[in-house]
Amino acid sequence: MAAVLTAVLGIGLGGCQLTSPMTTDMSYDPADGVSAAVGSVTVSNLLVVAESEGGPGRVSGLASNAGAEPVTVTIALEDRTEVATIELAPSQTVRLDGEPLPLLSAEGTEPVSIEEVSVPPGAFLTLRVGVEGGDTVSAAAPVLPPDAPYTGLAPEQSQRTAGQDG
Protein backbone atom coordinates (compact mmCIF):
# COMPACT_ATOMS: atom_id res chain seq x y z
CA MET A 1 0.00 0.00 0.00
CA ALA A 2 2.84 2.42 0.86
CA ALA A 3 4.50 1.71 -2.51
CA VAL A 4 1.27 2.54 -4.38
CA LEU A 5 0.80 5.75 -2.37
CA THR A 6 4.42 6.75 -3.02
CA ALA A 7 4.02 6.14 -6.75
CA VAL A 8 0.78 8.13 -6.96
CA LEU A 9 2.23 11.05 -4.99
CA GLY A 10 5.41 10.99 -7.06
CA ILE A 11 3.47 11.19 -10.32
CA GLY A 12 1.07 13.80 -8.97
CA LEU A 13 3.70 16.09 -7.50
CA GLY A 14 6.09 15.61 -10.42
CA GLY A 15 3.35 16.76 -12.80
CA CYS A 16 3.52 20.28 -11.34
CA GLN A 17 6.77 20.78 -13.21
CA LEU A 18 5.03 20.20 -16.54
CA THR A 19 2.84 23.29 -16.13
CA SER A 20 5.48 25.55 -14.56
CA PRO A 21 8.17 27.26 -16.64
CA MET A 22 11.80 26.66 -15.75
CA THR A 23 12.78 29.81 -13.86
CA THR A 24 16.46 29.18 -14.54
CA ASP A 25 15.71 29.75 -18.24
CA MET A 26 14.19 33.19 -17.59
CA SER A 27 16.22 36.38 -17.85
CA TYR A 28 15.83 38.56 -14.77
CA ASP A 29 17.74 41.00 -12.58
CA PRO A 30 18.76 39.07 -9.45
CA ALA A 31 19.42 42.26 -7.47
CA ASP A 32 17.72 45.49 -6.37
CA GLY A 33 18.71 47.38 -9.53
CA VAL A 34 17.90 46.97 -13.22
CA SER A 35 20.00 46.21 -16.28
CA ALA A 36 20.44 48.08 -19.55
CA ALA A 37 22.40 46.99 -22.62
CA VAL A 38 23.63 49.18 -25.48
CA GLY A 39 25.93 47.66 -28.08
CA SER A 40 28.84 46.00 -26.30
CA VAL A 41 28.05 47.80 -23.03
CA THR A 42 25.95 46.39 -20.21
CA VAL A 43 25.01 48.35 -17.11
CA SER A 44 23.80 46.01 -14.37
CA ASN A 45 22.19 46.54 -10.96
CA LEU A 46 21.51 50.19 -11.84
CA LEU A 47 19.90 52.05 -8.94
CA VAL A 48 19.97 55.41 -7.17
CA VAL A 49 20.52 55.87 -3.43
CA ALA A 50 18.85 59.01 -2.04
CA GLU A 51 17.51 60.12 1.33
CA SER A 52 14.61 62.16 -0.04
CA GLU A 53 12.95 63.63 -3.08
CA GLY A 54 14.73 66.83 -4.12
CA GLY A 55 17.96 65.83 -2.38
CA PRO A 56 21.18 64.46 -3.85
CA GLY A 57 21.53 60.87 -4.98
CA ARG A 58 24.32 58.46 -5.79
CA VAL A 59 24.11 56.12 -8.77
CA SER A 60 25.16 52.54 -8.12
CA GLY A 61 25.73 49.66 -10.51
CA LEU A 62 28.34 48.14 -12.82
CA ALA A 63 29.21 49.30 -16.34
CA SER A 64 30.96 46.68 -18.50
CA ASN A 65 32.38 46.76 -22.02
CA ALA A 66 32.37 43.29 -23.58
CA GLY A 67 33.68 44.63 -26.88
CA ALA A 68 37.15 44.71 -28.42
CA GLU A 69 37.16 48.51 -28.80
CA PRO A 70 37.09 51.27 -26.15
CA VAL A 71 33.72 53.01 -25.71
CA THR A 72 32.38 56.20 -24.15
CA VAL A 73 29.25 55.62 -22.09
CA THR A 74 26.93 58.42 -21.02
CA ILE A 75 24.38 58.28 -18.24
CA ALA A 76 21.73 60.97 -18.31
CA LEU A 77 18.44 61.86 -16.68
CA GLU A 78 15.18 61.51 -18.60
CA ASP A 79 15.37 65.19 -19.62
CA ARG A 80 18.81 64.42 -21.16
CA THR A 81 20.77 66.22 -18.40
CA GLU A 82 24.07 64.35 -18.46
CA VAL A 83 25.01 62.72 -15.15
CA ALA A 84 28.29 61.10 -16.20
CA THR A 85 30.58 60.20 -19.06
CA ILE A 86 32.57 57.02 -18.55
CA GLU A 87 35.45 55.76 -20.69
CA LEU A 88 35.58 51.96 -20.80
CA ALA A 89 38.51 50.04 -22.26
CA PRO A 90 37.86 46.66 -23.93
CA SER A 91 36.76 44.07 -21.36
CA GLN A 92 36.72 46.70 -18.59
CA THR A 93 34.14 46.88 -15.80
CA VAL A 94 33.74 49.80 -13.38
CA ARG A 95 31.52 50.45 -10.39
CA LEU A 96 29.37 53.56 -10.79
CA ASP A 97 29.49 54.32 -7.05
CA GLY A 98 33.24 54.95 -7.32
CA GLU A 99 34.39 51.98 -5.25
CA PRO A 100 37.11 49.65 -6.59
CA LEU A 101 36.19 46.20 -7.86
CA PRO A 102 37.59 43.52 -5.54
CA LEU A 103 40.33 41.46 -7.21
CA LEU A 104 40.09 43.50 -10.44
CA SER A 105 41.33 46.97 -9.57
CA ALA A 106 42.97 48.68 -6.64
CA GLU A 107 41.48 52.07 -7.52
CA GLY A 108 37.91 53.17 -7.90
CA THR A 109 36.53 55.77 -10.26
CA GLU A 110 34.81 59.06 -9.58
CA PRO A 111 31.34 58.30 -8.15
CA VAL A 112 28.33 59.18 -10.28
CA SER A 113 25.95 61.50 -8.43
CA ILE A 114 22.74 63.38 -9.11
CA GLU A 115 22.32 66.80 -7.55
CA GLU A 116 18.55 66.64 -7.21
CA VAL A 117 16.61 63.38 -7.40
CA SER A 118 13.14 64.15 -8.73
CA VAL A 119 11.35 61.20 -7.06
CA PRO A 120 11.23 59.88 -3.49
CA PRO A 121 12.84 56.65 -2.29
CA GLY A 122 10.58 53.77 -3.30
CA ALA A 123 9.85 55.24 -6.74
CA PHE A 124 11.65 54.78 -10.06
CA LEU A 125 13.87 57.32 -11.81
CA THR A 126 14.32 57.04 -15.56
CA LEU A 127 18.00 57.04 -16.51
CA ARG A 128 19.27 57.04 -20.09
CA VAL A 129 22.33 54.93 -20.92
CA GLY A 130 24.03 55.63 -24.23
CA VAL A 131 27.15 54.78 -26.17
CA GLU A 132 28.91 57.49 -28.16
CA GLY A 133 28.04 57.03 -31.82
CA GLY A 134 25.41 54.43 -30.94
CA ASP A 135 22.04 53.94 -29.39
CA THR A 136 20.58 55.09 -26.09
CA VAL A 137 18.21 53.08 -23.91
CA SER A 138 16.08 54.11 -20.95
CA ALA A 139 15.99 52.20 -17.69
CA ALA A 140 13.61 52.69 -14.75
CA ALA A 141 16.13 52.64 -11.90
CA PRO A 142 14.74 52.16 -8.39
CA VAL A 143 15.48 54.90 -5.87
CA LEU A 144 16.41 53.35 -2.53
CA PRO A 145 17.07 54.96 0.87
CA PRO A 146 20.63 54.76 2.26
CA ASP A 147 19.72 51.83 4.52
CA ALA A 148 21.50 48.47 4.69
CA PRO A 149 23.08 47.34 2.43
CA TYR A 150 23.38 50.83 0.91
CA THR A 151 24.38 52.84 4.02
CA GLY A 152 27.85 53.44 2.61
CA LEU A 153 26.36 55.00 -0.52
CA ALA A 154 24.67 57.94 1.16
CA PRO A 155 25.16 60.86 -1.23
CA GLU A 156 27.41 63.76 -0.34
CA GLN A 157 27.15 67.29 -1.74
CA SER A 158 30.91 67.45 -2.45
CA GLN A 159 30.82 64.76 -5.15
CA ARG A 160 30.47 65.41 -8.87
CA THR A 161 26.80 66.10 -9.52
CA ALA A 162 24.53 66.66 -12.49
CA GLY A 163 22.56 69.82 -12.98
CA GLN A 164 25.00 72.22 -11.30
CA ASP A 165 25.09 75.79 -12.56
CA GLY A 166 28.43 76.94 -13.98
pLDDT digits (tens, 9 = 90+) for 107-124: 778 899 999 999 999 999
Please check whether residue 120 lies inside any domain of the structure.
yes
Please count the other Cβ atoms lying within 10 Å of the Cβ belonging to residue 63.
24
**Element holding 36 (H helix, E strand):** strand 34-38
Confidence category of residue 4, pLDDT binned at 50, 70, 90: confident
Which CATH number covers residue 51? 2.60.40
Please count the other Cβ atoms lying within 10 Å of the Cβ belonging to residue 114.
27
Please check whether residue 19 lies inside any domain of the structure.
no
Model pLDDT, residue 156: 67
Per-residue pLDDT at 162 exceeds 80: no
Domain that holds residue 46: 39-147
Could you tell me where the DSSP H helices lie in the chain?
A: 2-14, 16-19
Please check whether residue 3 lies inside any domain of the structure.
no
pLDDT digits (tens, 9 = 90+) for 60-76: 999 999 999 999 999 99
CA-to-CA separations, 77 to 11, 72, 84, 119, 149, in angstroms, rounded: 53, 17, 10, 12, 24
Residues belonging to the chain: 166
Structural domain count of the chain: 1
pLDDT digits (tens, 9 = 90+) for 22-63: 767 777 777 889 999 999 999 999 999 999 999 999 999 999
